[in-house]
Amino acid sequence: MPNNHSVYIGRFAPSPTGPLHLGSLYTALASYLDARAHGGLWRLRIDDLDTPRNVKGADDAILRCLERFDLHWDGEVYYQSRQLDHYDEVLSQLRQQHWLYACHCSRKTLGTATVYPGVCREAGYPFDDSSAWRLKTQDIFIEFDDALQGLVRQNLARDQGDFIVRRRDQIIAYQFAVVVDDEQQGVNHVVRGADLLDSTPKQIYQQGLLAYPQPHYLHLPLIVDEHGNKLSKQTLAAPVDDAHPGATVYTLLVMLKQNPPSFLQNAPIPEQLAWAVAHWQPQNLGRIRAIESPRSGLPG
């Protein structure tokens, strides 16, 4: 069941693989507004476990960017890289309960398989540094009611198969780390992009195994370019132009379908945010998975 703690605790969790782009700032703004509209806390987490992809100084650039847009977080910044001992402790718990097994499969071995076929499930390989660690799934349905996208229902065993929680390079997998992180930070409301909608059943499944409370979820439509590609560093999305932050915030409020009044277009950011918090209506976005990035109307 969802976590019903009385105090709303949300979060924004960027990866330090480069500067924030419009899509990531859009998500940050939406999660911030949802938290503040509920009188809640907004935590900041730096998802820096995937060390080969991290860019030196990117975490500081992200913090400066958020501050430039008056998106001020509560408490200290949480870094995944400082939680390694805790991840190991929880993984040890799952091992002792026989939920994990060592896997020697490579992408080449699996070929085009989209559902892991369980090749190594009964192989009995040792838990060493030459193996990935997979979590056993069960032939049951996981379902949740997303605040924007509606009912989501998935059978993990049939639709995805056993999944990796610790990679062969010893890096903790996102699907596992995010569950532990949200528990550690007390997060009970998750606002993020719809590209992660299919990941949520995996996370709810692990929350159940670990007796963690389940957060409420709201998955936002993605911002895509004119070719239908999600704005991301991989698609070379441009960094946020922070030279005209007020104009950018106004544009994002339009993209979030909040219908900001025209007088806010040249207003200071605190005034824009105060209006947006007071009038926050995420349901205006509807049950859609993507919206196109504006080709004009952005500063710069």
- Could you tell me the two tokens for 191? 């606002």
158 assigned to a ligand binding site? no
130 assigned to a ligand binding site? no
Which of 181, 224, 217 lies closest to 26 in space, CA to CA?
224
Query: Rounded to an integer, what distance in angstroms lies between the CA atom of residue 245 and that of residue 251?
Result: 10
15 assigned to a ligand binding site? yes
64 assigned to a ligand binding site? no
103 assigned to a ligand binding site? yes
- Could you tell me the two tokens for 186? 């007390």
Torsion of CA 71, 73, 79, 83, to 10 degrees: -150
Q: What is the DSSP letter of 104?
A: -
Please give the sequence-ordered ranges of beta strands (E in DSSP) within 222-289, or none if there are none: 222-224
Which of 90, 80, 95 lies closest to 211 in space, CA to CA?
90
Torsion 52-55-60-62 (CA) sign: negative
Query: Rounded to an integer, what distance in angstroms lies between the CA atom of residue 25 and that of residue 66?
Result: 8
Collapsing DSSP to helix, strand or coil, 198 comes out as: helix
Number of other residues whose CB lies within 10 A of the CB of residue 208: 14
H-assigned helices in 20-76: 22-37, 58-68
79 assigned to a ligand binding site? no
Which amino acid is it at 24?
A: S
CA 216 remoteness from chain centre? 13
DSSP β-ladder status, 163-166 and 132-135 = antiparallel
- Look at the block and give the residue holding tokens 């070379």: 236
233 assigned to a ligand binding site? yes
120 assigned to a ligand binding site? yes
How many residues does the structure list for the chain? Answer: 300
12 assigned to a ligand binding site? yes
Which residue ranges are tagged as binding site? Answer: 11-15, 47, 103, 105, 116, 120, 174, 192, 233
Which residue ranges are tagged as binding site for L-glutamate? Answer: 11-15, 47, 174, 192
Which residue ranges are tagged as binding site for Zn(2+)? Answer: 103, 105, 116, 120
Which residue ranges are tagged as binding site for ATP? Answer: 233
